[in-house]
Structure 1
């Protein structure tokens, strides 16, 4: 059985502070994203903002679980994950220049006073007018799927209600749902129980109750759900080369319903 830790109001307040920094970084990226900028430049902008806000990048030197080690060659080497077009998640920032019309998915994690916030958004470089109708539709549908999942995070519901809400949006649009990577609990560790699938499963999951904090993160594609991992051991791509989009919020379940913590 998963170990679920319900957070107190004071603990959720700290997560709200971490989430605010996440939201600020994503807004900064949206402002600075333009054709010709590199993914490394966006990563540097993000890290500077996180540290100026007295936060710590959650992803930098991450090995999984609660393990971090800057000396380990397998540790994640950047402060953000920036995935382009057919890259789904965990794209490592580098010297590659972003072109107009590309889908750029930016995943940001922040630790503030020992507590985590985690959020992601997909953007079209140059705005929707620069993207194909298919790319624009995919990005919009993934965002709608996220918000549908969040709306289902009511006390008394179960994890399966979130999963079903996300799946229904994706299926209605004919999009592929990435199954190998799912949402998760979050708190003093970036990844805690429970898992939050973006699709229906045999188990309906735990019952939601006030104090449960989750990172809900649908990843949709224009093709199949099959994935591959590149030689860098981090970047996950669609097996068929189709475009992908990714949205994520950290939320707290409250007596009155879900509260989005990754907001400015």
Structure 2
């Protein structure tokens, strides 16, 4: 069942979204060569506790995971793209890091992700990250009232293909609001004009993710971390977006640097 949110409820989601954006910006600034992933995880835990927020990841137990997720961040490095478990790893020069975070404040949830290179960037990595960011903005722009859900999917896929990347269809965006994952599923590729009608009050997480040279994935033995099947680099970008009468409203924008 899809729950449309009132303007007031979207405003409450925006409170959570603002904090998500602020904390992701902090983590981006803290991540550097020589920093341990666990330091980022514990910084986020402290900040979430201070804010009185609740992590959507802690104790998350979907069918594909192995046991409950006992962290507040997904930290995915290089060929890892989704659900990366924070672990004892010190970031190295040139690592491509994706940070994904979802949390709730006063019963309303927001979800966002970003990717960036720590230290010296490889141009190929920057191109990959750019493709996910451009695809995200295209998907957001397509989330217009009166349109169709696959307009969003098609916009994302068109950008990915224009950059020369293929798209995996197993994981994508999703509805969001009172919980992290709600209906509908938002694919990262599709045909325009199809799918449910985009109605004001619909809130979705739009999240393109790409691998450099494959659309196939593998899982680590931990049951969580998803990697490119061929070991190529990966990137992931995400925002929580509300469809409003005047157009899409991004609820998780990060502060301007």
Aligned-pair CA distance for 1:39:
1.1
Q: Residue 61 of structure 2 aligns to a residue in which SS?
A: strand
Q: Note if contact 2:147-2:193 (Cα within 8 Å) is conserved in structure 1.
A: no
Q: Equivalent of 1:254, from 228, 234, 244?
A: 244
Distance 2:117 2:169 in 1: 24
Distance 1:229 1:73 in 2: 11
TM-score (norm 2): 0.95
- Name the residue aligned to 2:101: 108
- Name the residue aligned to 1:22: 20
Distance 2:167 2:108 in 1: 29
Q: Note if contact 1:107-1:121 (Cα within 8 Å) is conserved in structure 2.
A: yes
1:211 lines up with 2:197 in the alignment: no
1:191-230 to structure 2, matched below 5 A, reads: 191-200=181-190, 204-230=194-220
Aligned-pair CA distance for 1:12:
0.8
- Using a 3 Å threshold, how does the CA distance of structure 1 residues 158 and 231 change in structure 2: closer, same or farther? same
- Where does structure 1 lack aligned partners over 5 or more consecutive residues? 66-71
- Per-residue deviation, residues 5-25 of structure 1 (Å, max 9, x unmatched): 100112111110111111011
RMSD: 1.6
- Per-residue deviation, residues 182-215 of structure 1 (Å, max 9, x unmatched): 1000011110000000011699211001100000
Q: Note if contact 2:154-2:192 (Cα within 8 Å) is conserved in structure 1.
A: no
1:105-184 to structure 2, matched below 5 A, reads: 105-126=98-119, 130-184=120-174
Q: Note if contact 2:150-2:192 (Cα within 8 Å) is conserved in structure 1.
A: no
Q: Residue 237 of structure 1 aligns to a residue in which SS?
A: strand
- Matched residue count: 253
Distance 1:80 1:203 in 2: 35
Aligned-pair CA distance for 1:58:
1.0
Q: Note if contact 2:109-2:178 (Cα within 8 Å) is conserved in structure 1.
A: yes
- Name the residue aligned to 1:75: 68
- Per-residue deviation, residues 84-119 of structure 1 (Å, max 9, x unmatched): 010010000011111121110000111111111000
- Per-residue deviation, residues 54-88 of structure 1 (Å, max 9, x unmatched): 211111111139xxxxxx97000110000001001
Q: Note if contact 1:25-1:108 (Cα within 8 Å) is conserved in structure 2.
A: no
Distance 1:50 1:19 in 2: 13
Q: Note if contact 2:66-2:223 (Cα within 8 Å) is conserved in structure 1.
A: no
Q: Which stretches of structure 1, 4 residues or more, deviate above 6 A after TM superposition?
A: none
- Using a 3 Å threshold, how does the CA distance of structure 1 residues 31 and 202 change in structure 2: closer, same or farther? closer
Aligned-pair CA distance for 1:176:
2.5
- Using a 3 Å threshold, how does the CA distance of structure 1 residues 149 and 78 change in structure 2: closer, same or farther? same
Distance 2:70 2:232 in 1: 26
Q: Residue 157 of structure 1 aligns to a residue in which SS?
A: coil
- Where does structure 2 lack aligned partners over 5 or more consecutive residues? none
More displaced 10-residue stretch of structure 1: 142-151 or 196-205: 196-205
